[in-house]
Amino acid sequence: MDITSTAGADATIDPTRRPRQGFGRTVRAYIALMKPRVLELLLVTTVPVMLLAQGGFPSLWLVLATVIGGTASAGSAAAFNMYLDRDIDAHMQRTVNRPLVTGEVSPRGALTFAWTLAVFSTVWLWLTTNWLAATLSAAAIFFYVVIYTMILKRRTEQNIVWGGIAGCFPVLIGWTAVTGSLAWPPVILFALVFLWTPPHYWPLSMKYREQYDEVHVPMLGATRDGSQVGLQVILYAWATIACSLLLIPVAGMGLVYSVSALVFGGWFIYESHRLYNRAVRGTEPRPMRVFHASITYLTLLFVAIAVDPLLPF
């Protein structure tokens, strides 16, 4: 499949918006192509899994090498995504300031940057970790770019369910970087992130439903009413918490993780039910409460995964 044959047309981007800019601004624009806020979340799920796989602290070099490779890999996928979605980004308020829309980065520059990061991340992880971690990294890029962005995103309201699989790969990469193989604990964490992604993203699509409607992207939050979306958020939130508890017997998790999974999971479920109840009553559902709660939940849960192997209980 030719990655240069995007659905977006360069005509949607006003060439007069391309400003004259200095080196520093150009660097910041290319960093923005990597979606730094998404990178932070991906790294939060990578490093703790490395501690769990090691049963303590892996070598600092291995952690650093994995973080560098993972950052380049995720940044590559994000840059490809912005290149392919530049037509709709130009018509959505939440994305109108992205570098390809403002003209701070040209389409050719973005595509070159994306391919460079993809090649670098794969080769880097192969040389500094192992072939399995490198292969999983390449698979994550392929899944996000081709399966999600090019095939699913504009065709089905289930896009984020299956497209979200790309965001599950960091837990596998972190584990295999340490052990060189796969096992049940990272598979459970893969499933956990998979189940967590819809109740994380659907509230965001509720917030921006009009913008998704305008560009004809069928996100569930834009195609269904609030009560239907809220119910789906509840179901996936409960499934996420159930999956998190599976890790306790499978990985021999201790008290820190067990309590954290119950407490933070209970809070996530509470916020999900609150969204649904407000939508059913016809009041403002405040979907961003669940969106931010989901990020906090996942972050705290993986902090607990990192801390748990270091403690004797």
Phi/psi of residue 167, nearest 5 degrees: -75, -5
pLDDT tens for 265-285 read 999 999 999 999 999 998 888
Q: Which pLDDT value is given to residue 19?
A: 52
Q: What is the mean pLDDT of the segment spanning 78-97? A: 94
Whether 111 contacts 123, CB under 8 Å? no
How close are the terminal C-alpha atoms of the chain, in Å?
51
Who has greater pLDDT, 241 or 209? 241
Q: Which pLDDT value is given to residue 5?
A: 39
Query: Mind spelling out the 3-state secondary structure of 43-85?
Result: HHHHHHHHHHHHCCCCCHHHHHHHHHHHHHHHHHHHHHHHHHC
**Nearest Cα to 287, choosing from 194, 208, 195, 215?**
208
Is 80 exceeded by the pLDDT of residue 186? yes
Domain ranges of the chain: 22-179, 183-313
**Nearest Cα to 247, choosing from 291, 305, 297?**
305
Coil vs helix vs strand at 253: coil
Is 60 exceeded by the pLDDT of residue 9? no
Is 90 exceeded by the pLDDT of residue 110? yes
Q: Which CATH number fits domain 22-179: 3.90.280.10, 2.60.40.10, 1.10.357.140, 1.10.490.10?
A: 1.10.357.140
Question: What CATH number belongs to 183-313?
Answer: 1.20.120.1780
Pairwise CA distance, residues 242 & 261, whole Å: 9
Q: Which pLDDT value is given to residue 15?
A: 45
Share of the chain above pLDDT 90, in %: 79
Is 60 exceeded by the pLDDT of residue 168? yes
Q: What is the pTM of this model?
A: 0.90
pLDDT tens for 88-99 read 999 998 899 999
Q: Which pLDDT value is given to residue 20?
A: 61
Q: Which pLDDT value is given to residue 7?
A: 43
Q: Which pLDDT value is given to residue 2?
A: 42
Pairwise CA distance, residues 296 & 294, whole Å: 5
Coil vs helix vs strand at 148: helix
Q: What is the mean pLDDT of the segment spanning 175-198? A: 97
pLDDT tens for 145-163 read 999 999 999 999 989 998 8
What's the token pair of residue 298?
A: 């996942």
Pairwise CA distance, residues 188 & 168, whole Å: 10
Cα–Cα distance list, 51 to 11, 64, 128, 130 (Å): 48, 13, 18, 17
